[in-house]
Homo-oligomer: A and B are copies of this chain.
Amino acid sequence: MTKSTVIFQPSGRRGRVNSGVTLREAAQELGVEIESVCGGKGTCGKCKVVVHEGFFEKYGINSRLSNLSPMTDSEKKHLKNGEIASNYRLACASRVEGDVLVYIPEESRGGGQVIRKAAGELDVSLNPAIRKYFVKLKPATLEDPEGDLERLLKELEKTHGLRNLKIDYPAAREMPEALRKGGWEVTVTVWQDKEITWIEPGNSERSLGLAVDIGTTTVVGYLTDLETGEVIEVESMMNPQVPYGEDVMSRITYSMTHPEGLKEMHRAIIKGLNKIISKVTKKAGVEARDILELAVVGNTCMHHVFLNINPEYLGLSPFPPAMHSSIDVKARDLGLKANPGANVHLLPIEAGFVGADNMGVVVATEPHKQDKILLIIDIGTNGEIVLGNKDRLLSTSCATGPAFEGAQIKFGMRAAPGAIERVKIDPETREVEYKVIGDAKARGICGSGIIEAVAEMFKAGIIKKNGNFNPEVKTDRLRKDEKGQYEFVLAWAKDTSINKDITVTLADIRAIQLAKGALYTGCKILMKRYGVDAVDKVILAGAFGNYIDKEASMVIGMFPDCDLDKVVAVGNAAGDGARIALLNRDTREEANKVARKIKYVELTVDKDFQKEFMMAMHFPHMKDKFPHIKNVLDRIPG
Contacts and interface: CB of A to CB of B under 8 A. Distances in A.
A169 B324 contact: no
A172 B142 contact: no
A307 B173 contact: yes
Given A318-B145, A319-B145, A324 B150 contact: yes
Contacts of A146: 320, 324
A330 interface: yes
Nearest to A170: B333
Interface in A324-348: 324-325, 327, 329-330, 332-333
Given A149-B324, A172-B323, A176-B312, 6 more contacts: A142-B602, A142-B605, A147-B323, A169-B333, A172-B307, A172-B309
23 contacts: A142-B317, A142-B318, A142-B602, A142-B605, A143-B318, A145-B351, A145-B352, A145-B600, A146-B320, A147-B320, A147-B322, A147-B324, A147-B349, A148-B321, A148-B323, A149-B324, A150-B323, A150-B324, A167-B327, A172-B307, A173-B308, A175-B322, A176-B312
Given A176-B309, A176-B310, A310-B176, A149 B325 contact: yes
Interface string A280-304: 0000000000000000000000000
Interface string A158-185: 0000000001011011011100100000
Interface string A134-158: 0000001111111111110000000
A313 interface: yes
Interface of A: 140-151, 167, 169-170, 172-173, 175-177, 180, 307-310, 312-313, 317-325, 327, 329-330, 332-333, 349, 351-352, 600, 602, 605
Most B CB within 10 A of own CB, among A147, A150, A169, A170: A147
A143 B317 CA distance: 11
Contact of A318 (B140, B170, B313, B330): B140
Contact of A147 (B140, B144, B321, B330): B321
B150 A313 contact: no
A591 to B, nearest CB: 15
A211 B554 CA distance: 68
Nearest to A140: B320
A319 B349 CA distance: 50
A114 to B, nearest CB: 37
Nearest to A153: B325
A488 to B, nearest CB: 42
Nearest to A349: B147
Given A321-B148, A352-B145, A307 B169 contact: yes
B180 A313 contact: yes
A177 B310 contact: yes
Q: How many copies does the complex hold?
A: 2
Contacts of A332: 333
A313 B176 contact: yes
Contacts of A145: 318-320, 351-352, 600, 602
A306 to B, nearest CB: 11
A324 B176 CA distance: 13
Contacts of A147: 320-324, 349
A170 B332 CA distance: 12
Contacts of A175: 309, 322-323
Contact of A141 (B141, B172, B318, B322): B318
A147 B325 CA distance: 9
A143 B175 CA distance: 52
Nearest to A596: B150
A144 B324 CA distance: 13
Contacts of A318: 140-145
A251 B333 CA distance: 30
A200 to B, nearest CB: 16
Contacts of A172: 307, 309, 322-323, 327
Contacts of A605: 142
A325 B150 contact: yes
Nearest to A143: B318
Contacts of A352: 145
Contacts of A170: 333
A198 to B, nearest CB: 15
Most chain B beta-carbon contacts within 10 A, residue among A310, A319, A351: A310
- 4 A-B pairs with least C-beta separation: A149-B323, A140-B320, A145-B318, A147-B321
- A145, A325, A327: most-surrounded residue (chain B CB, <10 A): A145
A174 B581 CA distance: 27
Contacts of A312: 176
A322 B145 CA distance: 11
A462 to B, nearest CB: 42
Contacts of A144: 318
A136 B148 CA distance: 47
A563 B309 CA distance: 65
Contacts of A142: 317-318, 602, 605
Nearest to A600: B145
Contacts of A141: 318
Contact of A149 (B313, B322, B333): B322
A544 B12 CA distance: 71
A169 B308 CA distance: 10
